[in-house]
Chains A and B, each alone.
Chain A
Amino acid sequence: MLVATSVIVFAVLRALPGDPVLTRLGTTQGVSQETIDRLREQFGLDHSVLSQYGDWVSGIFHGDFGTSYFSQYSVTSLIGQRIGVTLELTIVSVALATVIAVPVAVVAALKPHGAIDRVVSALCSLGMAFPPFVAAILLLIVFSVQLGWLPARGWVPLSQSVGQNLQHIILPAVALSAVASPLIIRYLRSELVEALASPFVRTAEGKGVSRAQVVLRHALRNATLPALTSVGLIFGYTLGGAVLVEYVFGLPGLGSLAVESALRRDYAVLQSVVLLLCAGFILTTLVVDLAARALDPRLRTVRDA
């Protein structure tokens, strides 16, 4: 899967016009053909497309993503500088979204089609209409421009100051979770409604289990498993959203790195960042899948249910 993805990304970038060397120099005037060729050679751009791909892939296995065409930094170090921000943002956003979504989904599912359920459903529909970066801009307007409560742009690493780090991450995280939580609410709610109507919940009620215990011990646990499979999707959604949200808030993460390199035609960086983010997404899906398997006794013991 990852191989196919890497081929696609690489092929699209290489087969196409737009010479990175020329872009870097900005102009061809006053630059000798010799210089251009030397730069090409330096980046390995004079080799065939296939061997370029081979170099890139074998480099990755050695932890070397190549060198940026634009700056002299190695791609590995560029990614290294920025991956922490994206990681933190994604994790905080998904966590925040989950914390918001679970209680809301439970309350909505208790009375399907009741008043609360309808309001929640309408809000979800609205929330899902927000592209994360548009939500980000609106949040920026309200909390930074209008109210001046939070810093608009920039970043303070967690290692420097926890408090300031929090100030910088809260708006981006809210923007991302505003879109992710409706997704979670929808999945979880429908699974919960189904679980609450299932025979085993009726059995529990017939045993005299209290309402709260029925919901928590029996329905929620059983609804979480199928809802877990959507976590991969939510992660992907958050990761995709993070690209532009980082850009809006000027966070030095992988997303803004991808945007910057795209603007500069710095393919060496762009292809590696894209591949890394895809790998992250695929890996998350895989881990979630395995987790669901581990949590479901039916999948633990028998291969095929």
Chain B
Amino acid sequence: MTATAPPRTAPALAVSGLSVELERGRDGAVPIVRDVSFTVERGRRMGLVGESGSGKTLTAMAVMGLLKRPLRVAGGSVRLGETELRGLRRRSLDRVRGGRIGMVYQDPMQSLNPLHKVGDQIAESLRLHTSLDRRAVRERVVELLDDVGIHDAAAKARAYPHELSGGMRQRAMIAMGLAGDPEVLLCDEPTTALDVTTQRRIVELLVRISQERGVAMVMITHDLGVAAGFCDDVAVMYAGRIVEQAPVRDLYARPAHPYTEALLSAACDLTLPLDRPIPTIPGQPPLPGLLAGGCSFHPRCPYAQEACAQERPTLDGSDRRRVACHFALASVEQTEASDV
């Protein structure tokens, strides 16, 4: 639908050095997301994983240019294909958002306008980003809803959000994200509020869409199981930074960052005997503005040494695999060959 397809060389989405901060009046600003960089190629799926408050959602909002006061982007670059999104004026940005880049928001009940019919909300996107006429728009809405697995799509298009089930709302949300035929789709916890079977269907749907249409996807989730079933690569965020990034198999098989390891062992493993306590990560995730010096994780880290409190480790490694830890648990240089 876009006039010129992006050249092969440019990744669909390249985020580099992205930082978000919270304005605090005259006192300056508190950094919330710091120096986040990642790239996603066409047709690939990348997971952004971390605890609540680690900055996953804010990163996605920053990519979309949707942050509102008191939050703001403090620096970095967001490239969509060849287009730099940072610094675009509202009007130019509006041509891109919902068109070349779409987003599926968490909590569809809140994120869909309760007073507009589901079909109309999808149609709004189509009217803005395609040149279809009224009838064609109506047909395309039904088609989109049908594509995301909604039965009786024509009737559901006339329904209001509250009249749909949770899974249906989520599907409608995805249909809305796809309406502009995007190159990149950001999915923010698209499965969180759903039961397990529905979760699975939604994940499968998203995988199918990315494969069929070559859409680059970023999936934000705190659920490692969902990430494992969905992603090609996973970036783990802690306290506003990416602490480890790796192809999904490597990450799960040999986590390099102690935080990743802790997350994996805290993930409920059903094979564990029931009488054993579920492992947890001791301590609380830190508040922004109250970050320990050195590595942000060191107060909770079982392997922490003196250096960890002194000096913040940098995110080092290859393009395939990076980790920010002085005492990484696995080498990031030599990786097992994983799929493409």
The answer to whether any beta carbons of A and B sit under 8 Å apart in the complex is yes
**Which residues of A approach B to under 8 Å, CB–CB?**
197-200, 202-211, 217-218, 221-222, 225, 296-298, 301-302, 305
Q: Mark B92-120, 1 if CB is under 8 A from A, else 0.
A: 01111111001101010011111110000
Q: Which residues of A contact B163 (CB under 8 A)?
A: 297, 301
Q: Which residues of A contact B112 (CB under 8 A)?
A: 200, 203
A23 to B90, CA, bound (A): 73
Instruction: Judge whether B162 is part of the interface by a CB distance below 8 angstroms.
Output: yes
A210 B91 Cβ-Cβ under 8 A:
yes
The smallest beta-carbon distance between A9 and chain B, in angstroms, is 40
B115 A207 Cβ-Cβ under 8 A:
no
Partner of B114, one of A205, A206, A208, A222: A222
Partner of A222, one of B90, B107, B115, B176: B115
A200 B176 Cβ-Cβ under 8 A:
no
A299 to B251, CA, bound (A): 48
A157 to B34, CA, bound (A): 70
The smallest beta-carbon distance between B173 and chain A, in angstroms, is 8
Q: Which residues of B contact A206 (CB under 8 A)?
A: 64, 66, 97-98, 102-103, 105
A208 to B61, CA, bound (A): 14
A211 to B90, CA, bound (A): 8
Q: Which of A205, A225, A302 has the most CB of B within 10 A?
A: A205
Q: Give the number of chain B interface residues (Cβ < 8 Å).
A: 35
The smallest beta-carbon distance between A195 and chain B, in angstroms, is 10
Q: Which residues B260-292 have CB closer than 8 A to chain A?
A: none
Q: Which residues B66-102 have CB closer than 8 A to chain A?
A: 66, 68, 90-91, 93-99, 102
By Cβ-Cβ distance, the 5 closest A-B pairs, closest first, are: A207-B98, A208-B98, A208-B94, A199-B110, A208-B97
B124 A205 Cβ-Cβ under 8 A:
no
A305 to B97, CA, bound (A): 33
A221 B115 Cβ-Cβ under 8 A:
yes
A302 to B114, CA, bound (A): 13
B97 A301 Cβ-Cβ under 8 A:
no
A207 B125 Cβ-Cβ under 8 A:
yes
Q: A202-B66, A301-B162 are in contact. Are A218 and B113 (CB under 8 A)?
A: yes
B94 A202 Cβ-Cβ under 8 A:
no
A296 to B114, CA, bound (A): 9
Q: Which residues of B contact A221 (CB under 8 A)?
A: 115
Partner of B113, one of A204, A208, A296, A302: A204
B162 A207 Cβ-Cβ under 8 A:
no
A204 to B115, CA, bound (A): 13
B115 A296 Cβ-Cβ under 8 A:
yes
Could you jot down 28 A-B contacts, CB within 8 Å?
Answer: A197-B68, A199-B111, A202-B68, A202-B105, A202-B111, A203-B105, A203-B113, A203-B176, A206-B64, A206-B98, A206-B105, A207-B128, A208-B93, A208-B96, A208-B99, A208-B125, A208-B180, A209-B94, A210-B94, A211-B90, A218-B116, A221-B115, A222-B114, A222-B115, A296-B115, A297-B163, A301-B160, A302-B162
B160 A297 Cβ-Cβ under 8 A:
yes
A209 to B163, CA, bound (A): 24
Instruction: Judge whether B129 is part of the interface by a CB distance below 8 angstroms.
Output: yes
A200 B90 Cβ-Cβ under 8 A:
no
A217 to B68, CA, bound (A): 19
Q: Which residues of A contact B128 (CB under 8 A)?
A: 207-209
Partner of A297, one of B68, B93, B103, B114: B114
Known A207-B176, A208-B125, A297-B115; 13 more pairs at CB < 8 Å = A199-B111, A200-B110, A200-B111, A202-B68, A202-B105, A204-B124, A207-B98, A208-B129, A209-B94, A210-B91, A218-B116, A297-B114, A297-B162
